[in-house]
Chain A
């Protein structure tokens, strides 16, 4: 076996997959603006992706905020910079940890669920049934999920940011000896509108990536239980990598250009 040929096949296969996902994304966006719209499906997805993700997002954020405060305090104390805990927690949560962790939690919870559901629909011929009932699967399945995720994940990120900052606040004022009013003032004074805008924008883009990957892999699932398993695994892996890569690009766009 020629190693170069194997490498070439792998690279070509990866590029082809990226191309197919990009085309699927463009097709999804084009369907966002063309009727028919399935409002019941959309509302159901808002509930599923938004409301039902709140517990996992809240718990992730509160523990991360608390741990972040402890780390900054411990690290800062090496060069007498313990006082910057509120500022670093706020910036760290809002600019990076809030959106990325919420995005990854959505990838774990929502992308997997979308991929498994649609893949199961495919292997049980429910997608074919939709077509025979004059219903476009992309409009009925993909568009409501992607639109709901784009709208609701920024809200989850905003809530995650606030809960994460609260986690840092609780740890700092409860165990590290910070004054509560000073902590809040330092947090509010230090955050800028761009921090919040970048956070919410990342949320919308991550929501799009997470839902799109779930739908794409579900729609392109192989046969049987193994096909559903592979589709789910591929969707979560793809969504997580895409979210981290897009986060890097967006961070560059917002804070270095």
Chain B
């Protein structure tokens, strides 16, 4: 469903992506792992057009994303959970969740949009009384849940999760991982997650891809991860300081 071919992206002399190739099949959950600053988020943002790659092509359902004329319709197929949730401070929770349903091509009557928002909040384990609170009044875990509710509010075909458990305690991380897995399965969505949390990887992934030095070093089913024989992946999943990935002490 998503195919990335030879993606390159540099920021000045920093060559972040050096020819990334990746395939994500429809209805599967791909998790991209790799150290901090290896370009995982940049790869994801290239698909959405938030960052424009220097070279390479991205295909969604066989169509080149660069040839998209109706950007609104293209983006309506995606939902995204940002690392810090990226909720709009000035809007109450329900308007954050129903943001896409209150404007643009998916616009619905205000009352209906609110009902959908409350239903999605319930789906991620939040009570309706949260709907009228503002993001700043919520804990980090609750903000992530609201971000998740916003990502699924318009029933997207493709959902991106950028570091979904960063900054959360282990129990809340487990809750978010379970929610993501459940939601992706029940919606039949294609998911792409970026993380360096191995607990998340095992809970969420069908397939994983190891990104290092701007290219995918290994990709395959999560079940084969522990017997991959790939030195980069083995060092990463075992958290070893020694190996091909340089670590700064």
Contact = CB atoms under 8 A, between A and B. Distances in A.
Given A125-B83, A129-B86, A36 B45 contact: no
B103 A128 contact: no
Secondary structure of the B contact surface, majority rule: mixed
Nearest to B79: A132
Interface in B75-93: 75-76, 78-80, 82-84, 86-90
A133 B74 CA distance: 10
A220 interface: no
Contacts of B88: 121, 126, 129
A56 B79 CA distance: 43
B50 A133 contact: no
Nearest to A132: B80
29 contacts: A36-B103, A117-B90, A120-B89, A121-B88, A121-B89, A125-B82, A125-B84, A125-B86, A126-B86, A126-B88, A126-B89, A128-B45, A128-B82, A129-B82, A129-B86, A131-B48, A132-B48, A132-B50, A132-B75, A132-B78, A132-B79, A132-B80, A133-B75, A133-B99, A134-B76, A134-B104, A134-B105, A135-B99, A135-B103
Chain B: number of interface residues, binned into ranges = 20 to 34
Contact of A134 (B72, B83, B87, B90): B72
Contact of A131 (B75, B90, B150): B75
A117 B88 CA distance: 11
B71 interface: yes
A182 interface: no
Contacts of B87: 126, 129
Interface string A81-92: 000000000000
Most buried by B among A120, A128, A131, A133: A133
Interface residues of A, number: 15
What 6 A-B pairs come out closest when comparing CB atoms? A129-B86, A125-B86, A134-B75, A134-B72, A132-B80, A125-B82
Contacts of A36: 103-104
A10 interface: no
Given A36-B104, A132-B79, 11 more contacts: A121-B88, A125-B83, A126-B89, A128-B45, A128-B50, A129-B88, A131-B48, A131-B75, A132-B48, A133-B75, A133-B104
B158 to A, nearest CB: 11
B181 interface: no
A124 interface: yes
Contacts of A51: none
Contacts of B49: 131
A38 interface: yes
B78 A135 contact: no
A133 B48 contact: no
Interface of A: 36, 38, 117, 120-121, 124-126, 128-129, 131-135
Contacts of A120: 89
Contacts of A128: 45, 50, 82, 86
A49 B88 CA distance: 20
Contacts of B79: 132
A96 B71 CA distance: 47
Contacts of A117: 90
B100 interface: yes
A64 B181 CA distance: 64
Contacts of B83: 125
A231 to B, nearest CB: 17
Interface string B61-80: 00000000001100110111
A115 B78 CA distance: 29
B100 A134 contact: yes
A36 to B, nearest CB: 7
A131 B47 CA distance: 13
A131 B86 contact: no
Contact of B50 (A38, A126, A131, A135): A131
Contacts of B105: 134
A42 B193 CA distance: 36
